[in-house]
Amino acid sequence: MDLSLILNKEAILVDFEAKSKNECLQSLAELLYKMGIVSSDKEFLQSVLAREEQSTTGVGQQIAIPHGKSQAVKKTSCIIVKVKDAIDWDSLDKKPVKLIFLLAIEEKDQNDTHLKILSTLAGQLMDEAFVSKLLDSTTKEEIYDALILNEQAEIEEQFI
Amino acid sequence: MRKKILAVTACATGVAHTFMAAQALKKAAKQMGHIMKVETQGATGIENKITDREVAVADVIIFAVDTKVREPERFKGKKCIEVPVAAPIKNAQKIIEEAISQI
């Protein structure tokens, strides 16, 4: 999986401070705007918040994977944030969140490769060993390496 | 007894939860000693598509979906359960147990 297609080290943040989920998402939307990934932080934020309203993206194990699909997204991307103090995210396991994967998805992304990378990444977050490695990482480099080096173990057996 | 379980996962955006639920189900099934195949219906289309032969031999089908299942006619007449896509992400083992109780 060539994660480097959608992720660069600049898009990994550590020791990020935010008091609440909304404050966190707002600052990250502004950051995406500054990085030139979205054309409007407000419009992108709206799509992310609308998705949060449907059901929580706090998937447990201190991970949240908020995402917005919007015309404001210029290039399908992902930013990864390790927060300084855990944030309440109304997660499935009720635990506060330490690691946030924010996905910005182009409204009409014709490039399956980008979406495939994001989907694979999402699936990998169900792997406890991988998640604890990420949670133990303290620097951008450690997180980047853990992501790039991780390979999904195939767990499927022959059905017939 | 080792069961043959099929699952279909789908969520609104079709990028994150669809694939997390699929992984969670596959992992839990393996731990429980069952055989599982998961079809994902995401933004990139139907992947790992379930065949008619697989439907024929399956004991039960799990639909972990927040959207309408695409091509549902394939599964007609089979025992099944339907849950939100987040349910297996939260506790896949419980969902598999629920499905098996339908057999």
Tell me which of B20, B49, B61 to substitute to probe the interface with A (most A C-beta atoms closer than 10 Å).
B20
Reply yes or no on whether the pLDDT at A153 is more than 70. Answer: no
Strand partners, A103: A67, A78
| Per-residue confidence (pLDDT) for residue A110, from 0 to 100 | 60
| Per-residue confidence (pLDDT) for residue A154, from 0 to 100 | 66
Q: What is the pLDDT of residues B31-86, one digit of tens each?
A: 999 999 999 999 989 999 999 999 999 999 999 999 999 999 999 999 999 999 99
Give CA–CA dist B11/B17, Å, rounded.
Answer: 6
* Domains of chain A listed by start with CATH number: 3-149 (3.40.930.10)
Measured in degrees and rounded to the nearest 5, phi and psi for residue A60 equal: 100, 170
Closest CA–CA distance from residue B80 to any residue of chain A (Å): 17
Q: What is the pLDDT of residues A16-25, one digit of tens each?
A: 999 999 999 9
Report which secondary-structure segment, H or E, holds A107: none
Residues spanned by the domain of B71? 4-100
Assigned token pair, A157: 């057996």
Q: What is the pLDDT of residues B32-43, one digit of tens each?
A: 999 999 999 999
Q: List the CATH number of the domain containing B78.
A: 3.40.50.2300
> Residue A14: pLDDT band by 50, 70, 90 thresholds?
very high
Q: What is the ipTM of this complex?
A: 0.90
**Contact criterion met (CB < 8 Å) for B23 and A60:** no
Catalytic residue among B6, B7, B11, B99: B11
Domain count, chain B: 1
Q: What is the pLDDT of residues A112-133, one digit of tens each?
A: 788 888 999 999 999 999 999 9
Q: What is the pLDDT of residues A80-117, one digit of tens each?
A: 999 999 999 999 999 999 999 999 999 876 667 888 88
